[in-house]
Each structure stands twice: as C-alpha cells, then as structure tokens.
C-alpha cells in the first residue's frame, strides 16, 4: 500500500518510530552504552529491521567505523515485550500504556589493537563485558495523533564481570512531532553518569601506558566518576507504506569533565562524538 493511500494516524507507522529510531542510533550502543531510551512503540506491534551507521572507533576516538546491526521486538502479553537492540536486550514486565520497566542486559565491546590511533592501539586491551541492570520509561501522548509523544527514560547497568566493575546510567527525554502524514521528526537530549571504576577503565591511563603520554610527566591519569557526557539527537522517520519505514538521524555526544580531559580523548581523540545512520524496518501486528 503506498503512502498516498495511508490513513493518518496509523498504528504501524507509529510503531515504526521505535523501529527506525532504534536502528539509527543502534551503533551507539556498541561503544557509548546507550540504554533502552530510544525505543518507543504502541502496544501489540511486532517489528524487525536492520540499521547501518557510523560510530567512534572507541569511546573518545576521532576515527569512525561502520556498524551494521539488527533490531527486533516481540509482544507476548499485552504491553509486555522483549526487545533485542543489537548488543542490548530489554524485557518490559509492565502491562501499562504509559510506564515501561524491566531488566536489561548490554554486551559492551572493549578496546584493542584494532583501533586506528597509533598510540591508543598500544595501550592495554579492555575486554568485552556483559552489563546487567534495569530501565524505566514513561510515554505521554500529546494529541490525537499517537505519533505525537513526549518520552522520559532512564537506565542503569553494572558490570557482571571484572572488566570495569563499575556502573553507568543514562537519563533522556525525546519529543516526536508529525510534520506530514508520512513524515515524523524527533528531537531529544540527555546525559550519562558513571562510576569511578567505569571512568578509570575507559578514560584512565595507568601502568606501562603512562609512558605513551609524555604530557602526563610520568604520572597516571585517574579520572573520577560523575557526569560523563551530554547528548542531543535529531532525526526523521518516513513511512514508505504501512509495513515499511525508513529512518535517518544523528546524535551528538559531548564528553565532559574527567572524560573530556583524559589524554586518550584530549590528545589522541575528540570530545565531540558523532553517531549517525540510516535504518529500514518492517512492522506488523
């Protein structure tokens, strides 16, 4: 069914908002630890899709890689669902049209000698790890069009292994605004907060690595925990039909405080982190 024959608002185009937002920002999960705040769907919609985007080579890098990853969500009881978003899995256990809450798993990729930077690739490797925690979100419909919504979300996960042995949490808000029967734009913002253990693992410099950074004068760099970054998002979803939907978007992530001052970032990378991409998804009831 073509766009010209679509009635507005439609349940499936509304569902595609979550599909394509997730696909567009999916690569961010690999390195930046974004929680389940990019996924918002109407009840009873099952979805599947694939996204491709550009992501920083490592946290704080100024080199970029291409990432491709799948997305899927399955409703099994009312509003309850399981969501697979690349390296992240969430389970909503609430049967509620406004609130979502449940457990969350994230597979966080580490850093090794595959990175582009000639100095950072010599640093000690950071192993991949699995983080576990929970997410919560609240979605408020703002008009008769179910695509017009305001969403608040937060998540918190901690290391289940011995890679960083810390935690990281995110808080975010997003606004969805239909501008045409077949086009919806979204804007958002948020921040992340992490423990000292997390900050020292991904932004610290210690041991033999200190010699790689003459500016440290032989002293280790031991960052504190706290606010790690602020972020802003902008994107759009185009409803190609009732089943197929295309999304494009970008996210700016500005590293802050001890993360920004880390020589891994300040000397070898960039505190301005960009993530952008495109995704294609299919939705059905």
Give the pLDDT of residue 30: 36
How wide is the angle at C-alpha 114 spanned by C-alphas 112 and 118, nearest 5°?
A: 95
Decide: residue 4, CB within 10 A, 0-12 exposed, 13-18 middle, 19+ buried: exposed
DSSP reduced 3-state for 181: coil
Dist CA 158 CA 155 (whole Å):
10
Given this model, what pLDDT does residue 268 score?
97
Identify the sign of the CA torsion 56, 173, 243, 85: positive
Q: Distance between CA atoms of 116 and 126, rounded to whole angstroms?
A: 15
CA–CA dist 99, 68 (Å, integer): 30
> At 207, which CATH number?
2.40.160.40
Q: Compute the residue count for the chain.
A: 285
Name every residue whose Cβ is closer than 8 Å to that of residue 69 and which is 6 or more positions away in sequence.
26, 27, 29, 30, 50, 51, 85, 86, 87
DSSP assignment, residue 148? -
Helices (H), 44-157: none
Report the distance separating Cα 55 and Cα 100, nearest Å.
28
| Residues 6+ away with beta carbon under 8 Å from 165 | 159, 197
pLDDT, residue 264, reads: 97
Q: What is the pLDDT of residue 213?
A: 97
Residue 263 to residue 17: CA distance in whole angstroms: 38
CB atoms within 10 A of CB 153: 23
Q: What is the pLDDT along the chain (285 residues), one digit of tens a residue?
A: 334 344 433 444 444 444 445 444 443 333 333 333 333 333 346 778 888 888 898 999 999 988 887 888 888 888 899 988 878 899 999 999 899 999 999 999 899 999 999 999 999 999 999 999 999 999 898 998 888 889 999 999 999 999 999 999 999 999 999 998 888 899 999 999 999 999 999 999 999 999 999 999 999 999 999 999 999 999 888 888 878 888 888 889 999 999 999 999 999 999 999 988 888 888 877
Quick check: 282 and 23 in contact, CB under 8 A?
no
- In angstroms, the CA 253 to CA 12 distance is 30
Host domain of residue 162? 3-284
- Relative to beta strand 46-56, strand 272-284 is antiparallel
Q: Rounded to whole angstroms, how far apart are CA atoms 277 and 24?
A: 5
Distance, CA of 242 to CA of 253 (rounded, Å) = 33
* Count of domains forming the chain: 1
């Amino acid at each position: 069914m073509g766009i010209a024959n679509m009635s507005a608002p439609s349940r499936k185009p509304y569902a595609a908002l979550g599909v394509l937002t997730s696909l567009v920002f999916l690569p961010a999960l690999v390195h930046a630890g974004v929680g389940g705040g990019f996924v918002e769907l109407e009840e009873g919609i099952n979805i599947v899709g694939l996204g491709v985007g550009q992501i920083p080579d490592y946290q704080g890098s100024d080199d970029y890689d291409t990432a491709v990853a799948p997305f899927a969500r399955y409703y099994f009881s009312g509003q309850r669902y399981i969501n697979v978003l690349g390296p992240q899995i969430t389970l909503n256990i609430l049967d509620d049209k406004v609130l979502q809450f449940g457990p969350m798993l994230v597979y966080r990729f580490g850093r090794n000698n595959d990175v582009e930077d000639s100095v950072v690739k010599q640093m000690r490797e950071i192993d991949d790890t699995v983080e576990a925690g929970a997410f919560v979100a609240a979605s408020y419909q703002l008009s008769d069009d179910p695509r017009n919504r305001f969403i608040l979300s937060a998540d918190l996960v901690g290391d289940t292994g011995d890679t960083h042995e810390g935690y990281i949490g995110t808080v975010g808000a997003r606004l969805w605004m239909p501008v045409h029967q077949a086009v919806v734009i979204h804007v958002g913002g948020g921040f992340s907060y992490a423990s000292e253990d997390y900050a020292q693992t991904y932004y610290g410099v210690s041991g033999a690595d200190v010699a790689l950074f003459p500016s440290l004068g032989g002293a280790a760099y031991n960052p504190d925990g706290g606010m790690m970054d602020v972020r802003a998002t902008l994107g759009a979803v185009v409803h190609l039909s009732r089943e197929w939907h295309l999304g494009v978007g970008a996210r700016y992530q500005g590293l802050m405080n001890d993360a920004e001052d880390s020589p891994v970032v300040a000397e070898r990378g960039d505190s301005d982190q960009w993530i952008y991409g495109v995704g294609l998804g299919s939705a059905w009831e």
